[in-house]
Amino acid sequence: MPLLCLLACAPTRYVRPLAEGELAVGADLGGPLISFSDVVIPLPLTNVNVGYGLTGNTTVFGGLHTTALAFKLLQLDAGAVHAFRQPAGFVPGFSASGTLNLMTGLSDWQTRLFPQADLNAFWEHGARRNVIYFGMSNWFETKSTRAHGEEQPAHWLPSLQLGYTFVRSKWDYTVELKQVAFNQDESKIVVDYYGPGDKGASGVYFGLRRRF
């Protein structure tokens, strides 16, 4: 379980908000690419999530990270996305989201909370208004120290994502590429992440969502 997945365990929750009063339930699969026995594979990380359209521009959402749970780590996220500009032709729409990520170790109940802020540009096309999006996700580490009282070196962990959502009448299918923690040198750690150079890790994610 390469641990960058803790901050790269899912594709972007919502880029375009749901319609007002709309409920959606989804699941995601995928993760950072790793070199495993000389083969590059995406980690099969999973989560289940739910979203609800408060207004046409604002959706609240939450998720449970099921693979983390298998490692006795309860990882939950909850947040809201707001579209402050709708797309029009080639002019993209923009949305921003704020998320709190909660991690609780089920072996000793130690808990950490990580804020996250995302910004995405998105375009719609086709009769079903499929979505293509590009954006940046930012995790923040608020602790100043790490193990053995050493200084915590990284407080900002940004990722870039590029995704596409096929929209059908009740189902959405998303594929997303992500460059995780691209400001971090990964050349001197025990895990062989895969990506361009020694910075961060590349990830591939698939999402499935049913709207009600």
Partner 1 sequence: MIKTFKQLFLAVLCTLLFLCSSCLRLDDNLFNPDNTITEYKFDNYTGEVDFRLGNSYTIPQNKINRLTFTSQTPGESGSYTIHGVYLGDLNRIATDTVIMYCHGNRDHMDFYWQRAKLLANTGQKNRYGVLMIDYRGYGLSEGEPSESGLYADVNTALTWLKQNGLTSDRLIMYGFSMGTAPATIVAAIPISFALRPAKLILEAPFASAAVMVQDASRLSIPGTFVTDLKINNAEEIKKVQQPFLWIHGIDDDFLSIHTHGEIVYQNYGGSQKTAIRVPGADHDEVPLKMGFNEYLAAINNFIRK
For partner 1, which is the closer residue by CB, 30 or 87? 30
147 near 167, Cβ under 8 Å? no
User: At closest approach, how far in Å is the CB of 17 from partner 1?
Assistant: 23
Task: Give the binding site for partner 1 (CB under 8 A).
Answer: 1-4, 6-7, 27, 29, 44, 46, 66-67, 69-73, 103, 105, 107-108, 110, 112, 114, 139, 141, 143, 145-148, 150, 152, 154, 157, 166, 168, 171, 173, 181, 184, 187-191, 206, 208
Burial 114-150 (b: 16+ CB within 10 A, else e): bebebebbbbbeeeeebbbbebebebebeeeeeeeee
Cβ proximity of 186 and 208 under 8 Å: no
Least distance (Å) from partner 1 to the CB of residue 187?
A: 5
Nearer to partner 1, 23 or 70 (CB): 70
Nearest partner of 106 among 138, 134, 74, 75, judged by Cα: 74
Rank residues 2 and 79 by Cβ distance to partner 1 and give the closer one: 2
Spell out a b/e string for 35-56, using b for 16 or more CB atoms within 10 Å of the CB, else e.
eeeeeeebbebbbebbbbbbee
* Least Cβ distance, residue 39 to partner 1 (angstroms): 17
Nearest distance from residue 59's CB to partner 1, in Å?
22
Tell me whether residue 91 or residue 208 sits nearer to partner 1 (CB atom): 208
Minimum CB separation of residue 80 from partner 1 in Å reads 23
Q: Which is closer to partner 1, CB of 131 or CB of 157? A: 157
Taking alpha carbons only, the member of 158, 152, 164 closest to residue 126 is 164
